[in-house]
Structure 1
Amino acid sequence: MVGIVIPVIGILVTLLVSGRDAPTDEDSTTSSTPTGASAAKSGEEAGETSKIMFGPGEIEVHTSAYGEDIELDASRPLVEETIKGADLNLISAGDGTAASATFFGPLAAHTLAPLPSSPSEATEAECAKSLQKNATMQVDGLVKGRRLCVQTGEGRIAYVRVVSAPSTAHMIKISVTIWDLPS
């Protein structure tokens, strides 16, 4: 009995904190969303749009077998070797080159969503939809033009596009857009 009560209490607290009174019958019939995508779903369903908190702006990330962390919940993305609670981690194979680089979400959470190739920039709504349907814990194949969306630890949505990733280089340049939380 206790094993069931604790998760139910957690769900109720989450709903109350997010401003919803209680789950409805409609909530119980919807399909489950991957970890990290629920905040993106609720904002899109409510028709809310957020203002851009950062970007689009370019940042450089060094590739190494040790990885570099990227924090997207700051006013400007932070890139360092170790950031507790980082939203994105870039790790490459032992050679440390961009050709073997992969983005990972934090703690193997499904907070990343690859987007199909396109010359246009993604919108917040496109990212929210992709995070609902295609969330994963890693995105590889980081070549110029690769696009992905990120659900941050604080619930923001970010769009990342690889600007350059020379295969033998030890650096990737990405363009980042981060939308603030809906008000």
Structure 2
Amino acid sequence: MASKATAPVRFKATLRRPAQPRAAAWRFLVLPAAASAKLPTRSMVTVEGTLAGAPFQATLEPDGEGSHWLKVERALYEAAGVEAGDTVALAIAPVAREPEPTVPADVRAALVAHPEAQATWADITPVARRDWIHWITSGKKAETSGKRLATAIDMLASGKRRACCFDRSGMYSKGAMGAPEAAE
């Protein structure tokens, strides 16, 4: 039997346009629960595969309901020749090696200014770095993200390797994570 972490997961889902922001160029889809259950985690997971035959690599996000959702950038849905409202076939599998996350400029600057935090940052996994970035930047207000950045730097400087109080699945902190609302 194939491993849960490496077996390709095949399914169909409806491509949706997000309600907010109104002019968003990206689209999204929510994985069926049965497809999501075949993935190794309810939290963020980077996958590679095809969407209507077009290859991609992306990080699925938890929908807060025990499944995942996928943000589909314009280049991908155009390459696949699909539009919002279409039912699309996907085949996905978790990547063999988690890619390095993109570090926002303010996080990068704060790490440079705090060598102890930067040392811990350099020693943690890409998944842990992704979780820190997501926790810092997921605040609804800029003030919240600023406070989280300061807290993260303090925790990293003290050697803490994982973000505090971070529900990686989105199931216990409703509103922190979830699929976007679809436009009508």
TM-score relative to the length of structure 2: 0.23
TM-score normalized with structure 1 length: 0.23
More helix by share: 2
Q: Which has the higher strand share?
A: 1
